[in-house]
A and B are shown apart, each in its own frame.
Chain A
Amino acid sequence: MHRHEDYKERLAAHALDALETAEARELEVHLATCAECRAELDGWQETASALAFAAETHEPDASLRSSILERARTLAQPEAARESLETITNESSNIIPFNAQPRRAWASMQTFGAIAASLIIAALAVALALLWQRNNRMEAEVARLSRDYNQSQIELAQAREDRKLLTAPGASMAVLNGTENAAGARAHLAYDKTTGRAMLVADGLPPAPEGKAYQLWFIADGKPLPGGVFNTDAAGHGEMREQIPPDGRAAAVFAVTLERAGGVPAPEGKAYLQSKAAS
């Protein structure tokens, strides 16, 4: 879209009909909504029409006058015009029918204005729909990025926690080896005896059957205290963060059994991992 000033610059050329088709069309659309430019164009039209005087005057054939009047008589005036006009233009005649409006007749401006207005409205509607679509896409994208960002923040916080756990002064590490039920399995339990924070990383566990999950136990004085429940991925890898209850923090042995998915207060299933002794 051009500015009003750009359009103003074209008015003189438009009065001479000298703009390119596309330029002229653009300007006409602007004219439909700009009274100032319309008024200025009227002024330029006057100047342009003065150029007619640059042509030498000529006398047409005298018979033309009566010929015009005679034809005018057969051409009805506007209200009744249409039908008889068609009759006449259907006759063999060297008169070009009046279907085509003169390009510069002011009368056509109103029609043009209406057409231009509906074109503008249609174009705006399309633009609006496109913007709306685009906006929806952008919103979805922003939501996705925001989710990703939150996820990353959570993971980052977790990683910081994990590092803190591993480097804390009271940190301990226990190694859990696979029992006869999972010979290839192995896990590490890092825990802080002071705070009770713990992290278990297990590998090589068979996938837990439907409705079952692995559960961690803290065994102090031969008595198992229930810990959290976790699952493994397809590769047999599982991770779990845990808060060890105060009476479990002195545990010497850790074990992992396969239990009902929600976990149980006392071990019922087979043991899959077990530590030798706390370090």
Chain B
Amino acid sequence: MYPEQAQDADAELLRAIARGEEQALAALYDRYRLILFGLIQRILHNRAEAEDVLQEVFLQVWQKAADFDEARGRPFTWLVTLARSRAIDRLRSLGARDRLATASAREETEAVADAVTDAILSERGKVVRDALGQLPEEQQQVLLLAYFDGFTQSEIATRTGTPLGTVKTRMRSGMTKLRELLGTRMKLIS
């Protein structure tokens, strides 16, 4: 994956989608369905719901591609942010969050642990998992509970029996560290 080209190609795809070119939507789907579906499934833990949300996301891209602003970030970030937020919305509307959260946090610890040795995962996944694995476990937990379970800081504090101030510090430190670790590598893998 060549970062600049990939980004340009993505932006070009979005422009084409905004013009109403179906094959551009198909190309974008082909390029990102795996990671987006993985993300949505990870949030919802339900294949049928996840497929429904994935469809929703791409139909939204189809309609909103013109709103994408290159000045504000990469197409990939836009796409992931959109998918994650639709999935969290669905999770909340299903009221299934509490039931799933604990399982998801546990599952993640394993996934991160496995990640480094898992040779079949994508290069990007490996880099991110590797970076996450370098964070102290309690920072990882806070980031993952927020990102994949849609918990707010005070919900995390209640759930983990940690003072709110500590949760805030862990979240900020975790994000800062992650940004540092990904800093140079993200450019290479985008």
Contacts and interface: CB of A to CB of B under 8 A. Distances in A.
Interface string B143-173: 1101110111110100000000000100110
B42 A95 contact: no
Nearest to A44: B175
Contact of B171 (A12, A42, A52): A12
Interface in B105-127: 108, 111-112, 115, 121-122, 124-125, 127
B129 A53 contact: yes
A5 interface: no
A110 to B, nearest CB: 9
B178 A64 contact: no
Nearest to A74: B59
A103 B89 contact: yes
A163 interface: no
A104 B67 CA distance: 12
Interface string A1-13: 0000000010011
Contacts of A61: 51
B62 A47 contact: no
A9 B172 contact: yes
A102 B60 contact: yes
A235 interface: no
B55 A68 contact: yes
A64 B92 CA distance: 24
User: Which of B51, B59, B76 has the most CB atoms of chain A within a 10 A radius of its CB?
Assistant: B59
Contacts of B29: 65, 68
A56 B175 contact: no
Interface string A182-224: 0000000000000000000000000000000000000000000
B108 A20 contact: no
B13 interface: no
A131 interface: no
Interface of B: 18, 20, 22, 25-26, 29-30, 33-39, 41-42, 50-52, 54-56, 58-60, 62-64, 66-69, 72-74, 76-78, 80-86, 88-90, 108, 111-112, 115, 121-122, 124-125, 127-129, 131-132, 143-144, 146-148, 150-154, 156, 168, 171-172, 175-176, 178-179, 182, 186
Interface of A: 9, 12-13, 15-20, 38, 42-61, 64-65, 67-69, 71-73, 75, 77-78, 81, 85, 94-96, 98, 100, 102-107
- 8 closest A-B pairs by beta carbon, nearest first, are A107-B67, A55-B42, A53-B128, A12-B175, A49-B80, A18-B146, A57-B34, A16-B146
